[in-house]
Chain A
Amino acid sequence: MSDDVMTPEGGPPPGGGSNGWRKEYWRKNLRLMVALLIVWFAVSFGCGILFVEQLNQVVIAGFPLGFWFAQQGSIYTFIVLILVYAIRMDRLDREYGVHERDHDGGLT
C-alpha cells in the first residue's frame, strides 16, 4: 500500500484520527438505508397495496396504474434501490477509507 493514498477529494478521510469517524460513517450508512427503505415501502406496499384502488383510476398504456405498480413497477423500483445503495456505499467506503483494496468490480 503506497503512502500517498488519498480520498477522492484529496484530503485525509473525514472524522479525524480517533474513532469519531466510525460514528459518522455508520450514521451516514443508516441514513441512506432508512431513506431507501421508505421508498421501498411506499412503492410496494403504498402504491401496490394500500392505494392500489385509487391509482387504478389512472390508466397508462392499457395498465391501470395501481395494477402496474403491483405487478411491474415495484420490481423495477427494487432494482433501482439496490443500484443506488451499491453506488452510494462504494462512495461512502472510499470517503472514509474503509473500501476493500482487492476489488471485485461490480460492473466489470
Chain B
Amino acid sequence: MSETQVWALVFVVLSFGVYIYIAWRSRVKETKGFFVAEQNVPAVANGAAVAADWMSAASFISMAGLIAFLGSDGSIYLMGWTGGYVLLALLLAPYLRKWGKFTVPEFVGDRFSETVRSVSAVVAIIVSFTYVVGQMAGGGIVFARFLEIPQAGGVAIAAAVIFTYAVFGGMKGITWTQVAQYTVLIVAYLIPAWAVAHTMTGIPIPQVSFGQILDELNALQAEFGLDQYTQAFTARPQIDVFLVTMALMIGTAGLPHVIIRFYTTKSVRGSRWSALWALVFIALLYTTAPAVGAFTKVNLLDGVQGQAVDALPQWVQNWQATGLVSVSETSETVNSVTNNADTFAAGEADLLVNNDILVLASPEIAGLPAPIVGLVAAGGLAAAMSTAAGLLLVISSSVSHDLYFRYVDHHASEARRLGVSRIAMGLAVLVAIYFGINPPAFVAQVVAFAFGLAASTFFPILVLGIFWKRANAAGAVSGMLAGLVFTASYMIYTLEVFGTSANEHVLGISPEGIGTIGAVVNLVVTIVVSLATRPPSEEVQEMVEQIRYPSEREETHA
C-alpha cells in the first residue's frame, strides 16, 4: 500500500465512523421524523445539508475539469447550478414550507388533483433514479482509484453506510450526516485549492488570484492550437449558452430532492435564511472550481508542452494505470491535448486527459503531500453519498407516501407507515446498488438531462400553483405532459438513446438547453387550458391565499 492509500483509508474510515455515529444518534420513531426531520432543523444546519445534498460526485470530481476544457463557457454550470437558488428562495421555498407537508407530489396533489400527484410522484422517481445511479457509480470510482478496491465492492461499502443512516434515521439521519459530509467535502476541496493558488501566485485566495494567470493560460492555449480560454462562446453558440444556463437554473429549482430539504426548517423565515446559507456554502466550492480549473490547466499544459513522451511528469505515469490519462503511441513529443476520447482515438491529439483528473490529481500535479491527496478521496465520497441519500429519500417517500398508502393501504397506522417507508428505502438502496455496479448504458447520457425534465415539468406548475389562483388541475396536467413530451422528444431526436440516431441540433439548441423551451411550453399550456376550464374550488383558492402569509396576523388589541 502506498502512502497516499494509507491516508485515503484513514480519512475514509474516520469519516464513515462519524456518519454511523450520527445515524445512531438520530434514529426516528415517527414518519414526521422520517420524512421531514421533525421540521426542526436550524437554518444554518439546513443550509449545509442542502449544499451537501446538492453538490454531487460530479460537482466535486468533474466540474473543475469540465470548466478547464470548456473555458469561458464553463459558466453554464457555474451560473446554472447557483442561480436556481435565487428562484428557490424567492418563488418556492417559503410557500412550500408554509403549506408544510411531506413531499413535492403531495403539494401538487392538494393544489391541483390526485392525478397530478401520481404523475409527479412517478416523474420524481424517474428523475431521482437516473441521478442516484450516477452517484453510486461515482462513489465506486473513488474507491477504485484511491484504495484499489474493485468498483463493485466500493459501491456496496458506500451503500451499506447510506443504508444504515437512511433506513434508521430517514430525513433526520440524512440531514445531520449531510452536515458532516458538507464539512468533509468542502475542507477536502479548499485545502488543495488554497495550496495550488499560493504556489502559483503567492496569493492563497484562488477566487482572486486566478486572474493573474489568465494571460499565461491564453498564451499556452494558443500554442496548443486551442481557443482563447477567456473567449466566450467557443464551446457552444450564444443562444445555447443562454438556454442551457436557464434550463439548469430552473431545473435546480424544480428538483424534488432539493425542494424537500426546505420542508425541514423550523419556520417559513427559516426556509428563506437556509436558502441563503445553502448558497453561501455552495458558492464556496463553486467560486473555487473555476480557479482550480484554470490553475490546473496551466500546470498541465506547461508540464507536458513539447516534452518527449518518455520524459513526461510523474503524475502522468501514476494516472495512466487508471486509464484517465493516455499518451498516443505514435507521438514522440506532446504538442496537443484533448479531453475527448474520440478525437484522441482518431490520432488528432498526443495526450488524452479525462476531466475528472483535474480535481483528483491536482494535489499531485501541484506536488502536495500524501495526506491531502487522501483527504480528497474522503471528500469525493462525502459528495457522492450525501447526494445519493437525499435522492433515495425522495424515492422512498414518493413510493410509500405518494403511491402505496394512497392506492394500496389507505388506513395504515403510524407504526406501519414508518415500517413501509423503511422497507421502501431499503429496496431503493438495493436497486441503486445494482444499477451503480451495472449502470445501464443510457444513464450516463440521461442524467445530464434530469435538469431539463425537472425544468419542463415541475417548476412551471409549482410557480403557477403558488402565484396564480386561477391555475387548475386540467391546466397543470396538460402543461406538465406537454412540457415533458416536448422536452423528451427533442432529447431523443438529438441524442443516441434507446437505439435512436442523433439528428442535427435545431437553431444550435442542444438537448441540455431544450428544457428552457419545454418550461415555456408547459407555462403557456397550463395558462391556456386553465383559462378555458373552470377555476379551482373555493377551498383550493383559500389554501393558495393562506400560504402567502408566514403566520396568522397578530392584531393589536384596543
Determine if chain A interacts with chain B.
yes
CB-CB under 8 A for A25 and B214, given A44-B79, A67-B72? no
Assign chain A's interface to a size class.
35 or more
Chain B nearest CB, measured from A72 CB (Å): 6
CA distance A22 to B208 in the complex (A): 46
A75 within 8 Å of B (CB atoms): yes
Please give, as numbers and ranges, the residues of chain B lying within 8 Å of A45 by CB-CB distance: 242, 245-246
CA distance A106 to B45 in the complex (A): 10
Please, which residue of chain B has its CB at the minimum distance from the CB of A62? B211
Please give, as numbers and ranges, the residues of chain B lying within 8 Å of A96 by CB-CB distance: 553
Docked complex: A51-108 residues within 8 A CB-CB of B: 52-53, 56, 60-64, 66-68, 70-72, 74-76, 78-79, 81-83, 85-86, 89-90, 93, 96-107
CA distance A37 to B87 in the complex (A): 8
Q: B186-229: contact bitstring with A at CB < 8 Å (1 yes, 0 no)?
A: 00000000000000000000011011111100000000000000
Please, which residue of chain A has its CB at the minimum distance from the CB of B201? A62
CA distance A60 to B551 in the complex (A): 47
Report yes or no: B290 in contact with A82, Cβ–Cβ below 8 A.
no
Please give, as numbers and ranges, the residues of chain B lying within 8 Å of A89 by CB-CB distance: 94, 269, 272
Report yes or no: B86 in contact with A67, Cβ–Cβ below 8 A.
no
Q: B67-103: contact bitstring with A at CB < 8 Å (1 yes, 0 no)?
A: 1000010110011001101100111001000000000
Chain B nearest CB, measured from A107 CB (Å): 7
B42 within 8 Å of A (CB atoms): yes
A-contacting 9-mer, from B4-12, B158-166, B279-287, B354-362? B279-287
Report yes or no: A75 in contact with B270, Cβ–Cβ below 8 A.
no
Please give, as numbers and ranges, the residues of chain B lying within 8 Å of A4 by CB-CB distance: 556
CA distance A49 to B74 in the complex (A): 12
A-contacting 9-mer, from B374-382, B450-458, B542-550? B542-550
Report yes or no: A100 in contact with B269, Cβ–Cβ below 8 A.
yes
Report yes or no: B275 in contact with A98, Cβ–Cβ below 8 A.
no
Please, which residue of chain A has its CB at the minimum distance from the CB of B208? A61
Report yes or no: A6 in contact with B74, Cβ–Cβ below 8 A.
no
Please give, as numbers and ranges, the residues of chain A lying within 8 Å of B548 by CB-CB distance: 22, 25-26, 29
Please, which residue of chain A has its CB at the minimum distance from the CB of B283? A75
A12 within 8 Å of B (CB atoms): yes
CA distance A86 to B266 in the complex (A): 15
Report yes or no: A82 in contact with B275, Cβ–Cβ below 8 A.
yes
Chain B nearest CB, measured from A67 CB (Å): 5
B539 within 8 Å of A (CB atoms): no
Report yes or no: B86 in contact with A40, Cβ–Cβ below 8 A.
yes
Report yes or no: A72 in contact with B85, Cβ–Cβ below 8 A.
no
Chain B nearest CB, measured from A70 CB (Å): 4
Report yes or no: A75 in contact with B78, Cβ–Cβ below 8 A.
yes
Please give, as numbers and ranges, the residues of chain A lying within 8 Å of B213 by CB-CB distance: 62
B343 within 8 Å of A (CB atoms): no
Please give, as numbers and ranges, the residues of chain B lying within 8 Å of A50 by CB-CB distance: 238, 242
CB-CB under 8 A for A70 and B279, given A48-B75, A104-B266? no
Please give, as numbers and ranges, the residues of chain A lying within 8 Å of B290 by CB-CB distance: 71-72
B432 within 8 Å of A (CB atoms): no
Q: Which of B230, B238, B553 contacts A49 (CB 8 A)?
A: B238
Report yes or no: A106 in contact with B266, Cβ–Cβ below 8 A.
no
Please, which residue of chain B has its CB at the minimum distance from the CB of A86? B272
Please give, as numbers and ranges, the residues of chain A lying within 8 Å of B232 by CB-CB distance: 49, 52-53, 56, 66-67, 70
Please give, as numbers and ranges, the residues of chain B lying within 8 Å of A105 by CB-CB distance: 43
Please give, as numbers and ranges, the residues of chain B lying within 8 Å of A101 by CB-CB distance: 551, 554
Q: Is the interface of A mostly helix, strand, loop or mixed?
A: helix
Chain A nearest CB, measured from B251 CB (Å): 15
Q: Which of A5, A21, A78, A100 contacts B85 (CB 8 A)?
A: A78
CA distance A52 to B76 in the complex (A): 13
Report yes or no: B276 in contact with A99, Cβ–Cβ below 8 A.
no
Please give, as numbers and ranges, the residues of chain B lying within 8 Å of A74 by CB-CB distance: 75, 78-79, 82-83
B504 within 8 Å of A (CB atoms): no
CA distance A12 to B265 in the complex (A): 29
CA distance A76 to B208 in the complex (A): 13
Please give, as numbers and ranges, the residues of chain A lying within 8 Å of B329 by CB-CB distance: none
B241 within 8 Å of A (CB atoms): yes
Report yes or no: B82 in contact with A78, Cβ–Cβ below 8 A.
yes
Please, which residue of chain A has its CB at the minimum distance from the CB of B551? A100
Please give, as numbers and ranges, the residues of chain A lying within 8 Å of B396 by CB-CB distance: none
CA distance A62 to B229 in the complex (A): 13
B557 within 8 Å of A (CB atoms): yes
Docked complex: A1-49 residues within 8 A CB-CB of B: 1, 3-7, 12-13, 17, 21-22, 25-26, 29, 33, 36-37, 40, 44-45, 48-49
B268 within 8 Å of A (CB atoms): yes
Please give, as numbers and ranges, the residues of chain B lying within 8 Å of A25 by CB-CB distance: 548-549
Chain A nearest CB, measured from B547 CB (Å): 11
B555 within 8 Å of A (CB atoms): yes
Report yes or no: A86 in contact with B276, Cβ–Cβ below 8 A.
yes
B310 within 8 Å of A (CB atoms): no
Q: Which of B44, B79, B555 contacts A97 (CB 8 A)?
A: B555
CA distance A7 to B554 in the complex (A): 10
Report yes or no: B287 in contact with A72, Cβ–Cβ below 8 A.
yes
CA distance A78 to B286 in the complex (A): 12
Report yes or no: B79 in contact with A106, Cβ–Cβ below 8 A.
no
CA distance A17 to B555 in the complex (A): 8
Given A67-B232, A101-B554: 5 more A-B contacts, CB < 8 Å: A12-B555, A66-B232, A78-B82, A82-B275, A86-B276
Residues of B bordering A, CB below 8 Å: 42-44, 67, 72, 74-75, 78-79, 82-83, 85-86, 89-91, 94, 207-208, 210-215, 230-232, 238, 241-242, 245-246, 265-270, 272-277, 279-280, 283, 286-287, 290, 545, 548-557
A-B pairs, 4 with minimum CB distance? A106-B273, A62-B211, A70-B75, A104-B270
A-B contact list, 11 entries, CB within 8 Å:
A12-B556, A36-B90, A37-B86, A49-B238, A56-B230, A61-B208, A71-B78, A98-B551, A100-B268, A106-B273, A106-B274
